[in-house]
């Protein structure tokens, strides 16, 4: 099986945890917007969104809004989300 390539574009400290977990699973992670972060894993590379065509990546992760002051997840639309676990 070929190694997965995932672009992670921006985010906060939570996103850094996601990046680390993906790399632990042997996924090649391309981190855009984290120039000031030094990653220890060789599976994590700094990149710019414009450096590589989107077709190079198996998945692209974008930042989410997060939660409101009460800890509720904010959403714009009322719909169901189906989470698929490929790992």
What is the pLDDT tens value at each position of the chain, 87 positions in all? Answer: 789 999 999 888 889 999 999 999 999 999 999 999 999 999 999 999 899 999 999 999 988 776 666 766 666 666 555 555 555
What is the pTM (predicted TM-score) of this model?
0.75
List, in order of start, the domains of the chain with CATH numbers.
Answer: 1-87 (3.40.50.720)
Per DSSP, the residues of 32-83 read: ES-TT-----TTEEEE-GGGS-GGG-SEEE-----B-TTSPBP-SS------
Residues whose CB is less than 8 angstroms from the CB of residue 44 and which lie 6 or more positions away in sequence, other chains included: 19, 20, 23, 29, 31
Contact between 18 and 73 (Cβ < 8 Å): no
């Amino acid at each position: 099986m070929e190694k997965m390539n995932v672009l992670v574009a921006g985010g906060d400290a939570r996103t850094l945890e996601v990046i680390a977990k993906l790399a632990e699973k042997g996924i090649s992670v391309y981190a855009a917007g984290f120039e000031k972060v030094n990653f220890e894993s060789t599976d994590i590379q700094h990149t710019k969104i414009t450096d590589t065509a989107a077709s190079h990546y198996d998945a692209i992760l974008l930042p989410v809004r997060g939660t409101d002051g009460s800890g509720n997840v904010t959403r714009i639309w009322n719909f169901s989300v189906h989470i698929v676990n490929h790992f």
